[in-house]
Structures are given as structure tokens and as C-alpha cells.
Amino acid sequence: MKIATWNVNSVNVRLPNILKYLKDYQPDILCLQELKCSEDKYPLEDFVAEGYHSIQACQKTYNGVSIISKSQGMDCHNNPVAVNDNEMRSISATFGDLRVINFYVVNGQSIGSDKYIHKLKWLEKAREYIKEQLSSYRKLVVVGDFNIVPNESDASNFSPNDILCSDKERSEPCRLYLI
């Protein structure tokens, strides 16, 4: 099975590129982040015309995630991870015996800010959701834009005092592996 993930920073702006990718690489599943469109502006018909199904959690202007797939997803959940907000940042579905979770993690703005605290809470909720899903599904794939720089070599000007690079943020993916 071929699974791909892509932060498109506007599904409508990148639509020609997305359609070309689907034609050229024919992934079984393509997970998108940062759709930046409302449900009525989501280009569902374009994906259907290419032989794909889509489930999406849209949000006008910001956020939004989708799972585009050759087969219809089952047991779909729109925005299963949320921290007292309406930000559409997560979606999940099952394809055969495989559970797929797509995340667009909160940026966090700056270390110590309210948005940073929100990000850490969101990551904890994501961890809880993954743990819950693992109790029901033996095969699980988690993809997305985590807004975390995992290694110093992944940033040209790495500093542990910068957002995306803090020790707390960088430890979260490790905590996911320990579930």
C-alpha cells in the first residue's frame, strides 16, 4: 500500500499539483493538511473524477485535513482530537484492516505563550487518541504535519529556545512511540 502525506497550504491553490501527483504516483491514500477552505469550496468532484474518495474536515481560511483514497474509508472521524476549540486539525478512517490518522498539529507561536500551552495540550490529546485507537486496531498509521523539528539537522538555524525546537515539543513524538 502506498501512503503519502502533504501539507498543501491551500488545497485549491495546489489543486493542479495534487491532481498531477495522484496521476503520476497513484497513491492508495493521500493525506493533506492545511486545506484552508470551507466544506463547500473543497474540490471533492476533482478527486472523484480521478477515481478517488475523500473525507475531509474543512475550516475556512485556516487548518483543515483530508484523506483521499482509492477505496472508501470506513469508521471515519472528523476532528477526533480537539482541545476546546473548533480548529479542524485531525481526521481518521479505516481502510481494510488499516487505521489511518492524519494530524495538522498546532504551531505554538512562541515558547511559553498560551498557544504553546495549547499545542502541548493538543499533543497530549493526540497521544490519548492514538492509544485509544491502538486498543481497537492492530495496524495503525499516523501521518501529518507535526510542527516539530525532530533533529537539530532538520533546521538550518536550530535553537532549543525556538518554537518547533523546544525539548518539550521534541519529546512528544518519542512519547508517541512509547504507547
For cell 521534541, the residue is: 170
pLDDT for 178 equals: 53
For cell 505563550, the residue is: 113
The domain that holds 120 is classified in CATH as: 3.60.10.10
pLDDT for 60 equals: 94
Can you list the positions of beta strands (E) in 58-124? 65-69, 74-78, 90-95, 98-104
Question: Going by DSSP bridges, is the β-strand pair 139-145/90-95 parallel, antiparallel, or unpaired?
Answer: unpaired
Residue 18 main-chain phi, psi, to 5 deg: -65, -45
pLDDT for 31 equals: 99
Quote the domain boundaries for residue 146: 3-177
pLDDT for 7 equals: 98
Q: pTM value?
A: 0.92
- Chunked into runs of 10 residues, the chain (179 residues) has average pLDDT values of 98 99 99 98 99 98 97 97 90 98 93 92 94 96 90 83 80 60
**Domain total of the chain:** 1
Burial class (CB in 10 A: 0-12, 13-18, 19+), 53: middle
In Å, how far are 19, 56, 65, 88, 153 from 41, measured between CA atoms?
16, 12, 14, 15, 38
pLDDT for 175 equals: 56
